[in-house]
Structure formats: structure tokens, C-alpha cells
Amino acid sequence: MKILFDTTGLDLGVKEVIEGAILSKKELNIEPTLVGDEDIIRPILNEIGMDMNILDAKEIITNEEEPAFAIRRKKDSSIVVAFNNLNEYDAFISCGSTGALLAGGMFMAGRINNVKRAVLPTPIPTINGNTLLIDSGANMDVDADLLVQFAKLGTVLKQVTEGIEKPKVGLLNVGVEENKGNALTKEAFLKLKEADINFIGNVEGRDINKHLCDVLVCDGFVGNIILKNTEGLAGFIMTLLKSKVISNLSDNAKLEVMQSLSPVIKTLDYREVGGVLLLGLKKLVIKAHGASDRNAIKNAAKSALLMHENKLIDKIENSFRGEIWKKEF
């Protein structure tokens, strides 16, 4: 499998992406190609004693730039160069601007036929496994038809990546009753009931981590708030434990407690996931966290390999073949 690795956008710098690509090559038998400034990349490779394909790109799209404008203006940016060459590769992994990746994905890689919007599906840790939150930030304004599409995309993704035959789909709402919510969720509830998915009904925010469903549908505005709150709460709980509990223990007790908490910490660690797929595109494009390390980059490649080997794109195309949309949104 051939993967493009964007060397820009990572807090830990270019070398950490390169190390992640090297791990992917050694452990996953990936054929990596690095995208970025060759004048920076080549000396690092020489220092490490490795040789690797490079696509030279001198510009960087920052998070502060307007994505669509930056994609048009910065033709020599790593993201644009990667998308221009993506047809020759199986996947693209980047820690760069989420907006630029979405814009490039939509306009350059292209959407799967009959898919109206690409989405960001994020696994949220639960008591037993995870619940896929979809959308977690790509689409701030949606209609009921798009929420149904998100549910279908999430269903296929769960089937492919986790082997769940009939993933349970829930609709994030303020109550479990059918008549709860705003105009959007009420209409979406009715349409989800009629869709060819395993819809279980509404799920309240307090129940997200109870794993009542495998796929939880919402718009990107609400989803991103849920995601950021989950990240913040996990960090707060760990800080609270360390400052109020662990700090008062003996060294031996601290070691025992940290060993006991290790599985919990691993569950909450975004580096174990690696990255989030831009779901609905014709190519595998993965957005990795800006604070990723080399292991997170490798795990993003591992996710890409799993989806590639299980033909995720083909299965989504089959699922959406014949889909009719009444209007542009």
C-alpha cells in the first residue's frame, strides 16, 4: 500500500512525521512518500540514515487561513501537492489544516457518487468499545437528509472496520422520546426510521459513553462540541486524579495505581486511534491530530491499511449506488 505523509502541521515537527512513516514501513510494510519541503526533509533522512520518496512542496497552509482560498492560492503547499498526486497513491495522512483537507478532499479528490458531503467520524470511548460520533466537525449546517446519509456512511464504516453486521444507529437528542428535539431532529427521526439501517432511536448526551449505539448521528456543530468536551473532560479527570489522589500516595502505591489506570489511559489516548477519516471521498484521506507523535502517525497508517484491505471505498460506492437526492444543500 502506498501512502502520502504530509510532513507539515505537526507540533513535534517534521522529524516526528518522518519517524512515523519509517515505523509504518517497518511494521506495516507501507510504501511511504513524504510531502513537504525537500530542503528540510532530506537532511533529516540523511541524519537518520534512511532514503524515502519525497514530493517537494515549499508552502504551508495554516489553520488561520480561509481553506478554500488557501487551496486555490497556495499551489505549492503540501496539501495541494498531495491531492494533485493522490491518484497514484492509496491514502493521504496529514496533521495539517482540517478545513484545507476538507476543501481539497471535496474539490480535488472528489466525493463518492451520490454522497453530498464528506464527514468526520470520530470514535468516542465507551464502557465497551467505542461509539462513532458522526459528524464531529465537517458540516455545521445540515438537513434531515444529510443526517440520514451520515448514518449510512457510519454504518458501512463500522461494518468494514469492526465487522459489526448491523451497527446500531442512534440520533443525538435532548430526550429519548420520538417527539423531542428541534425541527431538524424530529424530521431526521422520521427519516431514519424509514432508512435501511438499524436505527434504535434518540440517545441523550449523558448516555453517549454507555455504548447504547455503534453510530451516533448529529450535525458537525454539536458533534464538535461533544468531541472537544470529551477531550477536555478526560484531561480534567486525569489531572484531578493526579493532584488529589495519586500525589498523596507513596511511591509504590503510585506505581500500582498508574499500572491499574494504564488500560483506562490507553482508551482515552487519541494516539491509539491515529487519525480521523474524511469519510465520503473517493480516496482515503486521514486527518491526524496536530499533537500526534510517531506512534500516532503509524496508527493512522494502520487504520488506512485496514480500510484499504477491506475495500471501504468500494463498499460505500455500492451502498450509495442508485441514491437519489431531491435537492442540493
Residue 249 domain flag:
no
Model-level pTM greater than 0.85? yes
Cβ count within 10 A of residue 187: 16
Residue 208 domain flag:
no
What's the pLDDT at 328? Answer: 40
Q: What is the dihedral of CA 210, 135, 95, 63, to 10 degrees?
A: -130
Residue 245 domain flag:
no
Residue 104 domain flag:
yes
Task: Give CA–CA dist 186/193, Å, rounded.
Answer: 11
CA-closest candidate to residue 195, choices 144, 158, 142: 144
What Cα–Cα distance (Å) separates residue 140 from each residue in 57, 67, 119, 143, 219? 31, 15, 10, 10, 6
Joined grid coordinates for residue 98: 482540517
What's the pLDDT at 268? Answer: 58
Q: Which domain holds residue 111?
A: 1-118+272-313+321-329
- For the chain of 329 residues, list the mean pLDDT of each consecutive stretch of 10: 95 95 96 96 95 96 92 95 97 94 93 93 90 93 96 95 95 94 96 96 95 96 92 83 80 75 60 79 93 92 95 92 52
Secondary structure (3-state) at 216: strand
Report strand pairing: 2-6 vs 91-94: parallel
What's the pLDDT at 274? Answer: 66
Residue 25 domain flag:
yes
Q: How many domains does the chain have?
A: 1
Gyration radius (Cα) of the chain, Å? 21
Q: What CATH number does the domain containing 69 carry?
A: 3.40.718.10
254, burial (CB in 10 Å: exposed 0-12, middle 13-18, buried 19+) = middle
Task: Give CA–CA dist 304/277, Å, rounded.
Answer: 8
Residue by residue, DSSP assigns 239-277 as: HHHHHHTGGGS-HHHHHHHHHHHHHHHHHH-GGGT-EEE
- Maximum Cα interatomic distance, the chain, rounded to a whole number of Å: 65
Residue 133 domain flag:
no
Residue 63 domain flag:
yes
Secondary structure (3-state) at 77: strand
Task: Give CA–CA dist 228/192, Å, rounded.
Answer: 26
Cβ count within 10 A of residue 126: 17
In sequence order, which residues have a C-beta less than 8 Å from that of residue 172 and are 6 or more positions away?
185, 202, 203, 204, 205, 208, 216, 217, 218, 222, 223, 226
